[in-house]
Structure 1
């Protein structure tokens, strides 16, 4: 059908797996961790990880997943603490892309940081028009299984909190300001 979106192909890993900006990577990883930690106990079990991957359309064999994840779970714990999740993410990034030879925020040109932000923005801007609408934000939140994705009123409130020109949309500069303020608060 004409105009129908095709599902993304997962034949090779996305370079966004490990953003070049370390502070954005930590913020993003913390958000992913919190999303995957379905019961909010501060650990991601293999079952929670499998559920999250299924919701994202990236189903994994539970036996293979357990074999990979168990090596990172600390003795006496049922799942991955955030630090364990970070170590697993780093090891997977090294295996897929080679060692992360110093993602030094201070030495990075502004253009590279902007490229990371643009890539993150495109995840939400599903139709590619340069704006994140309430419908697009709701769709992404729903795909991630977040309760905010069930309430359009909550989504509109989220947009309003960053929409400086009050057009009901989040443009790239508004998104960038929001992400940078989150990175500063979490530093």
Structure 2
């Protein structure tokens, strides 16, 4: 059954390429990231992620998925009596999708935790660096924060302050090394 569901998601998310950014290789970070994603998608903040909330989140991220297929996919993960996915259900769904997308019968070459973090940070940086110039500007950060629904995105001055707080060379932009330092500091504090 889960194999069929993986095929449905592969078809419905056909606009997304097979990217390692979905496969978070660091287990300790994976749970924290999934929790943040779950909380971001749970617009009603009721601890349940409905098919509508998931559909809206995927749409915002640019992934076209048929709402009826999403409903069908998550229904087997929703516990009886619940109106949506709990965080534990969401983790199980993520694991199933991870297996469907990345379990091709081939094991990945062993990757050190440092290489894994570097790769994940590079993928995250690319999300923010919308024009691909190797820097995150205040405007780019504002756009991404807006897509994610953060209220800070409404005030460019606040976004500029966020940039300046990590902009070590004071050029008004964040390069990958500044981004990496910032993210490692965040991970150390939250870990």
Cα displacement (A) at 1:70: 1.6
* Residue of structure 1 aligned with 2:40, choices 35, 45, 59: 35
1:182 and 2:186 aligned: yes
Match of 1:3 in 2: none
Aligned counterparts of 1:174 and 1:70: Cα–Cα separation in 2: 42
- Number of aligned residues: 177
Residues 82 and 33 of structure 1: CA distance in aligned 2, closer, same or farther (over 3 Å):
same
Q: 1:47 aligns with which of 49, 52, 63?
A: 52
CA–CA separation in structure 1 for the residues paired with 2:188 and 2:128 = 21
SS of residue paired to 1:65: helix
**TM-score using structure 2 length:** 0.78
Change (3 A) 1:169 1:11: closer
Native 8 Å contact 2:26 2:113 kept in 1: no
Once the two structures are TM-superposed, the CA of residue 28 in structure 1 deviates from its matched residue by 2.8
Question: After superposition, where does 1:1-187 map in structure 2 within 5 Å?
Answer: 10=15, 12-98=17-103, 108=112, 110-187=114-191
For the aligned residues, what is the CA RMSD? Answer: 2.7
Stretches of 4+ moved more than 6 A in 1? Answer: 99-102
Shift of 1:109: 5.4
Listed as ranges, the gaps of 5+ residues in structure 2 are 1-13
- Cα 1:88/1:131, change in 2 over 3 Å: same
Q: TM-score, normalised by structure 1?
A: 0.80
Contact map agreement 1:55 1:145 (CA 8 A) in 2? no
